[in-house]
Amino acid sequence: MLELFIAKRYLRAKRKQVVISVITFISVAGVAAGVMALVIALAVNNGFKNTLERNLLGATAHVSILEKEQGSGIDNWQELAAKLQKLPHVVSSTPGLYESAYITGSTQGDGAEIKGVRVDPGAPLPDALKHLKSGSVDALRDQDVPEIVLGSRLAQTIGANAGQVVNILISDGEITPFGPEPKRVKARVAGIFEVGFFDVDSHWAYMSLPVEQRIFRLDDVVSSIDIMLDDIYQADAVQHAAEAMIGPKLGASTWKEQYHQILGALKIERLATAITIGLIQLVAGLNILITLVMMVMEKHRDISILMSMGARASQIRNIFVFEGGLIGASGTVIGLVLGYTLCYFLDRYKMIPLDEQVYALPFVPFNAQAIDGLWIAAAAMAVSLLATLYPAYNATRIAPVEALRYE
Task: Report CA torsion sign: 106, 60, 64, 68.
Answer: positive
Dump pLDDT digits (tens) for 294-348.
888 877 777 777 787 888 888 889 988 999 999 999 999 999 999 999 999 999 9
* Residue 123, φ and ψ in degrees, nearest 5: -75, 140
pLDDT at 388: 93
Dump pLDDT digits (tens) for 102-129.
999 999 999 999 999 999 888 888 888 9
Dump pLDDT digits (tens) for 26-77.
889 999 999 999 999 999 999 988 888 777 776 789 999 999 988 889 988 9
Question: What SS3 class is residue 213?
Answer: helix
Question: Residue 66: beta bridge partners?
Answer: 224, 251
Contacts of 55 (CB under 8 A, 6+ apart): 195, 196, 197, 200, 360
Is the pLDDT at 399 greater than 80? The verdict is no
**Averaged pLDDT of the chain:** 88
Instruction: Provide the residue ranges of all domains of the chain, joining segments of one domain with +.
Output: 2-56+262-404, 70-248
Distance CA(40)–CA(17), nearest Å, equals 36
Give, rounded to a whole angstrom, the gap between the first and last alpha carbons of the chain: 29
Q: Please name which of 115, 248, 271 lies closest in space to residue 193, comparing C-alpha atoms.
A: 115
Q: Please name which of 174, 179, 195, 71 lies closest in space to residue 125, comparing C-alpha atoms.
A: 195
Q: Please name which of 268, 356, 285 lies closest in space to residue 325, comparing C-alpha atoms.
A: 285
Question: What SS3 class is residue 244?
Answer: coil
Q: What are the Cα distances from residue 259, in Å, to 5, 52, 60, 255, 256? A: 55, 10, 11, 6, 5
**Least confident range of 47-56, 144-153, 384-393:** 47-56
pLDDT level of residue 171 (50, 70, 90 thresholds): confident
Q: Return the percentage of the chain with pLDDT > 70, whole number.
A: 93
Contacts of 4 (CB under 8 A, 6+ apart): 322
Distance CA(9)–CA(228), nearest Å, equals 62
Distance CA(15)–CA(306), nearest Å, equals 19
Is the pLDDT at 403 greater than 70? The verdict is no
The residue ranking higher by pLDDT, 282 or 250, is 250
Averaged pLDDT, 366-372: 95
Distance CA(278)–CA(271), nearest Å, equals 10
pLDDT at 51: 84
Q: Please name which of 396, 328, 347, 365 lies closest in space to residue 3, comparing C-alpha atoms.
A: 396
Let me know: does 312 contact 396? Beta carbons within 8 Å. no
Q: What are the Cα distances from residue 386, in Å, to 16, 336, 369, 390? A: 26, 20, 26, 8
